[in-house]
């Protein structure tokens, strides 16, 4: 992982602002989720524009020209169009005439799915440099009258540039582990899509049930990825989790016996940005010097589907 970039819309919406028009409060939102504010897309922000901004910053960080990128994968559940894929539009925006791009829809687990796919493309020799992006505008699929969901999400994009290493070095993606269970699809879903005639187009969630699944499945996920690599909790330098709820993150950190200072947290300021949350957190912690070369980083996520998974990387 050689490049990191992020983009957050300028407009910040505080809990108090939501409480002024909904039956909720700053106290409830903070206590139940850890969220204090979220960034909300402006009229000129969309999945493509935010993904492009995050990708450009990741390329700048790595000092790699866009023309050297072989593949672009965008994880998003809020694309601007059914097709062309967001990734293909980003390819054009970056001025790239070669390579290929496609989107992945795995809701909040999308970045882990995209990372796994990029790793496989690199290992199989199909691509040498892959941009992995999460870009989401959940503000456009939220029912702003539903206090059970609209207070939880925010907009943004994050990007990571992966590049093939020379030989078998100690750094890079050590392994990724993906899961889904379609029988739990009714716990968290968007009511409708372009292919359906009658639908609200809003996100719906049975929060308490998703919470229960998240704690159990993410716990199993961190055990799975460490066992696959013959590593233990003590080996983990940083937990960079999907940012849905501070209580879920703290639960996984406690299980790993990781102190709070070793967990990258953005949910307080970004809320849940779905597939963008892990790359946004990586970007923040690499750029402010917390995550350094040689660190072992554990990523995990769970989202609609249900989908879930984990990834372990040595920076």
| 150 is a catalytic site residue | no
Please report whether residue 96 would count as binding ligand UT7 according to CB under 6 A: no
Residue 242 falls in the annotated catalytic set: yes
The footprint of ligand UT7 on residues 208-267 (CB under 6 A) is 208, 210-211, 214, 244-245, 248
Determine the longest span between alpha carbons in the chain, in angstroms. Answer: 57
Contact range with ligand UT7 by CB under 6 A, out of 45-53, 145-153, 163-171, 259-267:
145-153
How many residues in the shown chain lie near ligand UT7 by CB under 6 A? 21
Provide the 3-class DSSP secondary structure of residue 185. Answer: helix
Smallest separation (angstroms) from ligand UT7 to the CB of 5: 22
How much of the chain is helix, strand and coil, in % rounded to 5? 40, 25, 35
Q: Which of 15, 39, 46, 108 is catalytic?
A: 108
Catalytic residue among 242, 245, 270, 283: 242
Q: Binding residue for ligand UT7 (CB under 6 A) from 151, 160, 218, 275? A: 151
64, 1 in Cβ contact below 8 A? no
Measure the CA–CA gap between 239 and 132, rounded to whole angstroms: 19
| Catalytic status, residue 179 | no
Q: Is 28 in the site for ligand UT7 (CB under 6 A)?
A: yes
Task: Please name which of 171, 176, 180, 260 lies closest in space to residue 226, comparing C-alpha atoms.
Answer: 176
Nearer to ligand UT7, 146 or 224 (CB): 146
**Minimum gap (Å) between residue 189 Cβ and ligand UT7:** 11
Q: Which residues bind ligand UT7 (CB under 6 A)?
A: 24, 28-29, 32-33, 108, 147-148, 151-152, 207-208, 210-211, 214, 244-245, 248, 272, 302-303
Residues recognised as catalytic: 108, 242, 272
């Amino acid at each position: 992982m050689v490049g990191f970039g992020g983009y957050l819309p300028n407009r910040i919406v505080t809990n108090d602002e939501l409480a002024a028009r909904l039956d909720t409060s700053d106290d409830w939102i903070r206590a139940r989720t850890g969220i204090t504010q979220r960034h909300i897309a402006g009229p000129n922000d969309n999945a493509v524009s935010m993904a492009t901004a995050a990708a450009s910053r990741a390329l700048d960080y790595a000092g790699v020209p866009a023309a050297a990128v072989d593949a672009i994968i965008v994880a998003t559940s809020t694309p601007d169009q059914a097709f062309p894929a967001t990734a293909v539009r980003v390819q054009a925006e970056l001025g790239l005439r070669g390579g290929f791009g496609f989107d992945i829809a795995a809701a909040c687990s999308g970045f882990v799915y995209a990372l796994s796919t990029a790793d496989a493309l690199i290992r199989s020799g199909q691509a040498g440099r892959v941009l992995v992006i999460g870009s989401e505008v959940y503000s456009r699929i939220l029912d702003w009258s539903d206090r059970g969901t609209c207070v939880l999400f925010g907009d943004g994009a994050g990007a990571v540039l992966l590049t093939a290493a020379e030989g078998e070095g100690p750094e890079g993606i050590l392994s990724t582990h993906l899961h889904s269970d379609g029988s739990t699809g009714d716990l968290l879903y968007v009511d409708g899509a372009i292919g359906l005639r009658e639908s609200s187009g809003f996100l719906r969630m049975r929060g308490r049930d998703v919470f229960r699944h998240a704690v159990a499945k993410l716990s199993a996920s961190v055990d799975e990825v460490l066992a696959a690599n013959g590593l233990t909790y003590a080996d983990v330098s940083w937990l960079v989790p999907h940012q849905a709820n501070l209580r879920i993150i703290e639960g996984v950190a406690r299980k790993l016996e990781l102190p709070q200072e070793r967990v990258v947290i953005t949910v307080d300021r970004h809320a849940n940005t779905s597939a963008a949350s892990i790359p946004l957190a990586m970007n923040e912690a690499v750029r402010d010097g917390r995550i350094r070369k040689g660190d072992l980083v554990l990523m995990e996520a769970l989202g609609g589907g249900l989908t879930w998974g984990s990834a372990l990387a040595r920076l």
